[in-house]
Chain A
Amino acid sequence: MKSASKKALFKKNVPLMVMFAPALAYYLIFRYLPIGGLVIAFENYNFFDGVFHSPWVGFKNFEMLFSNDKTITIIWNTLWLSVLNLVVGFPVPIILALMINSVRRSWYKKFVQTVVYLPHFFSWVIVGGMVITMFSMESSFLNHWITDKFGEPYPFLYKTGSWVTIFVGSGVWKEMGFSTIIYLAALTSISPALYEAAALDGATKWKQTWHVTLPGIRGTIILVLILSMGRVLEVGFDQIYNLRNAMVSDISEVISTYIYTLGIQGGQFSITTALGLFESVVAFILILTANLIAKKFNNNLF
């Protein structure tokens, strides 16, 4: 009996294994092979000796990085900005999806959906220009209005607090429409019967959202949350590079800009790889932790 079911299980597995094989091959060749290149974090890499014959320096690159208190500041900045990005940026698309979902008129729904997706296609150079137009001291409408009312313009871009708000806000604004898509797709899987039942019980829209809609997309929400944990040490280079200025340098120097600065004078492959490897280790630990927590709610990934 037992072996029979094992055999049946195997039989069921064969087509799946055949199917999985190309995907596995893909991962081995294009993802795992290059990972070997991470050894250059422990070398003094140069083109002449290549990935495998460059002089081995062990942890020297890491020591060089972490003995520098600037590196520590930069890691904190990165952590702080990305956590803010996550805390604000994570719920907004969900709320937006619920809002769009509640619209009845289908043309309006389509219109909003299409329009909020547009900013995703602007490069940060363009968004950076728009931010300056909106918040600069001397030429923005906002500051013209403030000057008329209060006599003095406010240096939005040059004060840490307001700059961080603008930084996070512009990122959320740019990506919220695009991030909403995944929730809108998930919403389609909720059976209308559930809404009908709730409505029969006399639940208001608000209650329906709380008791039907949100639980319906809970899986997606948790999935996205776990995966965003992997990006906690990531602050996109283009975003920060196009928004920062000297006045907020205390907070705006992050890992990605640091890698860029180090790279300005030639190929600092080993040092930058070392920094990247550190980022990856932290990200992986965070993902594993998030998954462990999710396991408590039976929504774990693995």
Chain B
Amino acid sequence: MRESNGDKITRIVISVLLLLISISCLAPVINILSISFSGKQAVETGKVLLWPVDFSTQSYHTLFEGTRVLASLWNGVVMTVGGVIISMVFTICAAYPLSKGYFYGRRTFTLMLLFTMVFTGGLIPTYLVVKSLGLIDSYWSIWMPGAVSTYNMLIMRSYFEGIEPEIEEAARIDGCKEMSLLFRIILPLSMPVIATLILFYGVGYWNNFMNVLIYINSTEKYTITVLIQQMISSQSLLTETLANDTSALDIVPEGIQSAGIIVLILPMVLIYPFLQKYFVKGVMLGSVKG
């Protein structure tokens, strides 16, 4: 298989384009990283660009010693891992039956689930339900209301539908029952979509801010996102309500905010490459042959 000239040019153009896009996405991270490692004065006067000025680890010291960052980091992990497991179970439970043409009420149920994508009861009614189930102040109050994202469920359903019927037929002839079909054939074949949804749910739980603030009352259960987001939005208080806030403590300095952002996104950056390997070509084919 020789590469034609046209293909070669296309390939180079694409590589360069991707490089430019990557730079645009990487530069802000480097900027934030540099700010987090710079001296306070240099940050305040806006001198830091893509390299630390007056190198200092003070921001990290303050962050780790002066706030609950470690505890909240752990909370974030617990909430995310627990949430992903629950969500995946519920999502599979919904997606698999709906992917079967012979499932009773498939159309009705799909429409019914879709309906909730656009019609939501809003914060207070949902809060009342969660409260009456006694879930307030536990992570269940985050996990349960958000257990299934209809969007994610439909993605999974459509992936299941795309699995060639012959594979299924063959398995059934081998005597596979519905459940073992799911666990032994369908799920292993669906690793790309499972990896995708783990990522989607994981990122969703990790970034969850408002729900944690509303449903969780004990601050010892706050997650890292809540902690860092609060630091970032303390800035906006200055213009809005701080005028009447007599105990206006200092706004969290930008250097510490930046250190917080780095700590916040680091786990998400580290986890992604592990999931990426499931997006490799040929997973499907390999399983069919095996």
Instruction: Please report A residues at the B interface, Cβ cutoff 8 Å.
Output: 9, 12-13, 15-17, 19-20, 22-24, 26-27, 29-38, 51, 96, 99-100, 102-104, 108, 110-123, 125-126, 130, 173, 177-178, 181-182, 184-193, 199, 204-206, 219-220, 223, 227, 230, 269, 273, 276, 280, 283-284, 287, 301-302
- Counting chain A CB atoms within 10 Å of each CB, the highest count among B25, B147, B159 belongs to B25
Size category of the binding interface on chain B: 35 or more
Query: What's the least CB distance linking A275 to chain B, in Å?
Result: 11
> Complex formed: what's the CA distance from A220 to B159 in Å?
8
Q: B261-290 vs A: 1/0 string, CB under 8 Å?
A: 100110011001100101111111100000
Interface pair B18/A103, CB less than 8 Å apart: yes
Interface pair B117/A230, CB less than 8 Å apart: yes
Interface pair B159/A189, CB less than 8 Å apart: yes
In the complex, number of A-B residue pairs with CB atoms less than 8 Å apart: 232
Besides A17-B104, A188-B284, 16 more A-B contacts (Cβ < 8 Å) are: A16-B97, A23-B91, A26-B147, A30-B145, A34-B125, A36-B121, A37-B122, A115-B25, A173-B24, A185-B159, A189-B192, A189-B284, A191-B285, A230-B117, A276-B122, A287-B117
> Complex formed: what's the CA distance from A121 to B111 in Å?
32
> Complex formed: what's the CA distance from A122 to B191 in Å?
28
Interface pair A99/B17, CB less than 8 Å apart: yes
Interface pair A35/B120, CB less than 8 Å apart: yes
The answer to the question of B118 belonging to the interface, with a C-beta cut-off of 8 Å to chain A, is yes
28 contacts between A and B (CB under 8 A): A23-B90, A31-B120, A32-B116, A33-B129, A34-B125, A34-B126, A36-B125, A37-B124, A51-B128, A102-B10, A103-B15, A111-B22, A112-B21, A112-B22, A115-B25, A118-B29, A130-B28, A178-B203, A182-B155, A185-B192, A186-B159, A193-B285, A206-B6, A223-B158, A227-B154, A230-B118, A302-B107, A302-B111
> Complex formed: what's the CA distance from A15 to B121 in Å?
31
Given that A17-B104, A118-B265, A204-B7 are known contacts, is A51 also in contact with B15, CB under 8 Å in the complex?
no
| Contact residues in B for A30 (Cβ distance below 8 Å) | 126, 129-130, 144-145, 147
> Complex formed: what's the CA distance from A108 to B16 in Å?
11
The answer to the question of B243 belonging to the interface, with a C-beta cut-off of 8 Å to chain A, is no
Interface pair B284/A35, CB less than 8 Å apart: no
Query: What's the least CB distance linking B138 to chain A, in Å?
Result: 15
Q: Is the interface of A mostly helix, strand, loop or mixed?
A: helix
Given that A123-B232, A182-B196 are known contacts, is A16 also in contact with B100, CB under 8 Å in the complex?
yes
Query: What's the least CB distance linking B24 to chain A, in Å?
Result: 7
Interface pair B124/A19, CB less than 8 Å apart: no
Interface pair B261/A126, CB less than 8 Å apart: yes
Query: What's the least CB distance linking B225 to chain A, in Å?
Result: 9
Query: What's the least CB distance linking A22 to chain B, in Å?
Result: 5
Query: What's the least CB distance linking A301 to chain B, in Å?
Result: 6
| Contact residues in A for B232 (Cβ distance below 8 Å) | 123, 125-126
The answer to the question of B233 belonging to the interface, with a C-beta cut-off of 8 Å to chain A, is yes
Interface pair B26/A29, CB less than 8 Å apart: no
Interface pair B28/A192, CB less than 8 Å apart: no
